[in-house]
Amino acid sequence: MTSNAVEASNLKKAFGEKQVLQDMSFGVSPGDVIGVLGKNGAGKTTLLELMLGFTAPTAGAVRIFGHESYSLPGDIKARVGFVPQQDELLDQLTVADQLRVIASFYPRWDSELIDRLCSEWGVNVNARIKSMSVGERQKLSILLAFGHKPELLILDEPVASLDPIARRQFLEQLLTLSTDEKRAIVFSSHIVSDIERLANRIWILKEGRLDWQGDLDSLKESIVRLHIRGAGPELPAFKIPGVLNVRRDGAFATAVVRDWTPEAQEALEKSASVQIEVETLGLEEIFVELHR
Amino acid sequence: MKAVARLVWAYFTGTPVLRACTIVGLALIAIDLYVVATQPGSGQKLWLAVLGLIFFFVGSSLMPVTFGRLARSHSVGVLPGGRVKLLLSAFITILLVALPVGILSPASFISANSSLPELMKDPRVRDFVLEVTALMFSSAVLFAGWMYLALWFLTSQRDMAGLFKGLIVIMLVIFSPAREIHDFNVSLTWNLQQIAILWFVFGAGFLLWPRFKAVRARRNREWFAGLTRVFTGRTVGREFDVLLGTANPWLLVAVLALPLLLMVRLMGQVPSAWLFFLTIFSGLTGAYSGQAAERSRALWLRGHWSRVELFVAVERSIWRHNAHVLGALVLVIVGMGLYAGFPPVLVAAGFSLVLLGTVLSTYLGLMITRGLRWVEIVAGVVVMLSLMALAMLVGFEDVDLTTVFALEVCMIALAIAFRSVARRRWTRIDWMECRPDRALTARGA
């Protein structure tokens, strides 16, 4: 029996001729908070919905708590929470009714937690869902995913419709949840600062592939900007390993590189007789450089 | 005017299939008109133009969908003259769809009477032909207007209110020509009055809707909330049904009540007419099962069901719902039978028709697991036309019961086939292909 919350191997998904996801293998362990980054159409939603068994992979497999995601048994589903990109609320009900309906599906539902969050987040339980704004509906969707204290929480762009205050409250709650070492969280977002603040591991999707997966610190150590200075008036010709982008200007050059190591730096300094200064990049800069 | 023209063009040519339908429709009409106009007495060839007319109508079917989406969007509020142009585009589309009917009217005279060109020299004959042409054209404008309105209500507002409005409009669509045929009092003036009233009321409502919404939002709507709570309040123990939208069958029964009463009042004495309407009403249960796939997405992560088990649970829930509606329709049949003194055979035929309508439409709805596609549309049209034809057949005095029975057996076989297809589709249901369309329900307008 595996200890990972999620495991995927050689995962592929195609819609007709279009390959959306290609050869993905990954694992999500309890305690992981994974931020999924990718441009529009990179396959984030498809990946998350594949993990939840909404759709079948074209090839490969995803397993949640050791079970094939496409045919999850009920006890495993009770350990999973999901916030969809577009809410699936019932317009004609009140918030209280909607909460009651969803709570009835779970053997463990923390009403106290939900009552407290409703009050803190300013969700009016007597309001009819039809009359709520998009942001209020999103708050309710998030509450519905928290109520049964899932061990695996998957969120597809959960903060897209929230105002800054609601976003902060949501992130605080997610931080509280993430301190539980048994819980794994996977969330996608375009707000890189949120991912940087919350995630301890990053997945970067590019053209249907996992271009990077690893912890945030490794990513920041791996993709860096080099400031290169030559001894003479012009830089000699040299090749930078793993270069993503380079700009030369007389005796100076700046380059963004991936998979950078101190050994590579030492080797380059010796072979090209240059001095190299390494600048660490923020996650947003890394994301932009990877997609340049 | 450019925006209006662009919209109208988009309605007829928005997708390759619709573009093809429009072109084929126009070509068939043009060819047939040429043949009929140049070869007097060629009346039997008019069927080609009728076929063209159907193609042309189908070609414009993007109009109610596009109109509905735009009308409910935020963007129409910020477009210069957005609502007026949208309304105008709909009206022009209806005129265009009705135009071939107007043109075909004199053609049908020519085709039926080889000496008509001679007769047309007489001003009285010419006036008569022109009057009939105007009459047919205005009737077509009126009819197409009602049809699009019903389509719009049924497709853009996929809830009880939309269903209710659609049913009322369908009743009016069918009642209006039926009454005119019965009373034989149709006139151009009356048609024009109806068109003016219809478009004035609809246009004013459409253009003033944003203001009305603002006023309504300011008012205390607690009384309305209390009213809806009567229908939606009881959820304990029926959570599965609530998520699936089948928790309250009485809502559908209530929505059916007024059209049913109207039907009894207007056409109660004609057996085929009330059987015809009851068949349409029984088919409405398919509207619920048609949404089951997308709604069940919310159930997948919240229960112990596999995909097959979920289908069984959904099927059971839908039948719990439909049993109530079916019961109400059976009561209507019994009531009607007693009221009008229909023979027991006819009442029994009514039972079987309503049951068949419910079963077929339910499983046809459950087949929709990847959005509404051509296969389901064609199957739906075939089923409804077959049921309606059967209703008309049963209504005849000298009906051959063996034929009716044989047709009903065929339909039972079709229902079994539909269920089998639905079950197979649910075993591999992909919720990425049938997610709820929030864009439609986003409160824009």
Per-residue pLDDT tens, chain B, 445 aa: give them: 777 888 888 888 878 888 899 999 999 988 887 877 777 665 566 778 888 888 888 888 778 777 877 787 766 766 777 788 888 998 999 899 888 888 877 777 666 666 666 666 778 877 887 888 888 888 888 878 877 777 666 666 656 666 666 666 666 665 555 455 445 556 788 788 888 888 888 888 888 877 776 666 555 555 555 555 555 555 566 788 888 888 888 888 877 777 777 766 666 666 777 777 777 778 777 777 888 998 898 899 888 899 999 999 999 999 999 998 888 888 888 887 787 777 888 888 888 888 998 999 999 999 989 877 778 878 887 888 888 788 878 777 777 888 888 988 999 999 999 999 999 999 999 988 887 654 334 333 2
Give me the interface pTM, i.e. the ipTM: 0.77
Indicate if B263 and B382 belong to the same structural domain.
yes
Interface touch B239/A101, C-beta < 8 Å: yes
* B249 found inside a domain: yes
Least confident of A33-37, A167-171, B277-281: B277-281
| Structure tokens that stand for B334 in this block | 């019994």
pLDDT over 90 for what percent of chain A?
40
Q: Is B202 helix (H, G, I), strand (E, B) or coil?
A: helix
Which domain-ending residue is among B157, B188, B217? Answer: B217
From B100's Cα to the closest Cα of chain A, the distance in A is 40
Q: What is the pLDDT of residues A8-19, one digit of tens each?
A: 999 999 988 889
Interface touch B232/A93, C-beta < 8 Å: yes
pLDDT at B112: 64
Dihedrals φ, ψ of A259, to 5°? Answer: 60, 40
From A187's Cα to the closest Cα of chain B, the distance in A is 17
* B357 found inside a domain: yes
pLDDT at B166: 66
Least confident of A86-90, A217-221, A252-256, A283-287: A86-90
Dihedrals φ, ψ of B358, to 5°? Answer: -65, -45
Residue A32 has pLDDT above 80, yes or no: yes
**Which residues of chain A lie closer than 8 angstroms to B235, CB-CB?**
93, 97, 100-101
From B59's Cα to the closest Cα of chain A, the distance in A is 27
pLDDT at B444: 30
Interface touch A49/B431, C-beta < 8 Å: yes
Which domain-ending residue is among B217, B241, B275? Answer: B217
Least confident of A91-105, A131-145, B222-236: B222-236
Strand-pair partners of A245: A256
Cα distance between residue B116 and residue B402, in whole Å: 47
| Structure tokens that stand for A231 in this block | 């001894």
Q: What is the pLDDT of residues A111-125, one digit of tens each?
A: 999 999 999 888 999
**Which residues of chain B lie closer than 8 angstroms to A101, CB-CB?**
235, 239, 242-243
Cα distance between residue B445 and residue B83, in whole Å: 10
Rg value, chain A, Cα: 22
* B445 found inside a domain: no
Dihedrals φ, ψ of A39, to 5°? Answer: -70, 170
Say how many CB pairs under 8 Å bridge A and B. Answer: 73
* B226 found inside a domain: no
Indicate if B196 and B330 belong to the same structural domain.
no
Among B427, B416, B280, CA closest to B359:
B416
Interface touch B243/A101, C-beta < 8 Å: yes
* B373 found inside a domain: yes
Q: What is the pLDDT of residues B273-311, one digit of tens each?
A: 777 777 777 877 777 788 899 889 889 988 889 999 999
Which residue's structure tokens are 């219809």? Answer: B198
Secondary structure letter of residue B434 according to DSSP: S
- CB A189, CB A42: distance < 8 Å: no
Indicate if B190 and B299 belong to the same structural domain.
no
Secondary structure letter of residue A276 according to DSSP: E
pLDDT at A204: 94
Indicate if B209 and B243 belong to the same structural domain.
no
**Which residues of chain B lie closer than 8 angstroms to A140, CB-CB?**
none
Among the partner-chain residues A46, A55, A104, the one whose CB lies closest to the CB of B239 is A104
**Which residues of chain B lie closer than 8 angstroms to A16, CB-CB?**
none
pLDDT at B442: 35
Interface of chain A toward chain B, CB-CB under 8 angstroms: 46, 49, 52-56, 71-75, 77, 80, 82, 86-88, 90-93, 97, 100-102, 104-106, 128, 130, 134
pLDDT at B221: 53
Cα distance between residue A270 and residue A292, in whole Å: 29
Q: Is B233 helix (H, G, I), strand (E, B) or coil?
A: coil
Least confident of A204-208, A267-271, B222-226: B222-226
Indicate if B429 and B321 belong to the same structural domain.
yes
Q: Is B83 helix (H, G, I), strand (E, B) or coil?
A: helix
* B392 found inside a domain: yes
Secondary structure letter of residue A25 according to DSSP: E
**Which residues of chain A lie closer than 8 angstroms to B214, CB-CB?**
none
From A236's Cα to the closest Cα of chain B, the distance in A is 54
Indicate if B135 and B67 belong to the same structural domain.
yes
**Which residues of chain B lie closer than 8 angstroms to A127, CB-CB?**
none
Indicate if B257 and B175 belong to the same structural domain.
no
Helix B62-71 crosses helix B2-13 at what angle (to 10 degrees)?
130
pLDDT at B439: 37
Indicate if B196 and B246 belong to the same structural domain.
no
pLDDT at B445: 27
Q: What is the pLDDT of residues A44-85, one digit of tens each?
A: 999 999 999 999 999 999 999 999 999 888 889 899 999 988
pLDDT at B388: 79
Interface touch B442/A100, C-beta < 8 Å: no
**Which residues of chain B lie closer than 8 angstroms to A56, CB-CB?**
428, 430
From A89's Cα to the closest Cα of chain B, the distance in A is 9
**What total of structural domains would you count in chain B?**
2
**Which residues of chain A lie closer than 8 angstroms to B435, CB-CB?**
86
pLDDT at A28: 94
pLDDT at A6: 95
Interface touch A55/B301, C-beta < 8 Å: no
Interface touch A54/B303, C-beta < 8 Å: no
* B52 found inside a domain: yes
From B208's Cα to the closest Cα of chain A, the distance in A is 20
- What count of residues does chain B have? 445
Domain that holds residue B27: 2-217
From A57's Cα to the closest Cα of chain B, the distance in A is 10
pLDDT at B257: 74
Interface touch A74/B304, C-beta < 8 Å: yes
Interface touch A101/B432, C-beta < 8 Å: no
pLDDT at B160: 61
pTM of this structure: 0.73
Task: Say if B300 is an interface residue toward chain A (CB within 8 Å).
Answer: yes
Break chain B down into helix, strand, coil percent, rounded to 5.
Answer: 80, 0, 20
* Ramachandran category for residue A93: left, alpha or beta (phi over 0 → left; psi -120 to 50 → alpha): beta
Indicate if B205 and B237 belong to the same structural domain.
no
Which domain-ending residue is among B217, B241, B264? Answer: B217
Among the partner-chain residues B228, B236, B302, the one whose CB lies closest to the CB of A92 is B228
Per-position DSSP letters for A126-170, written without gaps between them: TSBGGGS-HHHHHHHHHHHHHTT--SEEEEESTTTT--HHHHHHH
Indicate if B182 and B250 belong to the same structural domain.
no
| Structure tokens that stand for A212 in this block | 């990077």
* B118 found inside a domain: yes
Cα distance between residue B31 and residue B51, in whole Å: 12
Indicate if B52 and B194 belong to the same structural domain.
yes
Task: Say if B298 is an interface residue toward chain A (CB within 8 Å).
Answer: yes
Higher pLDDT pick, A22 / B249: A22
Indicate if B247 and B373 belong to the same structural domain.
yes
pLDDT at A20: 92
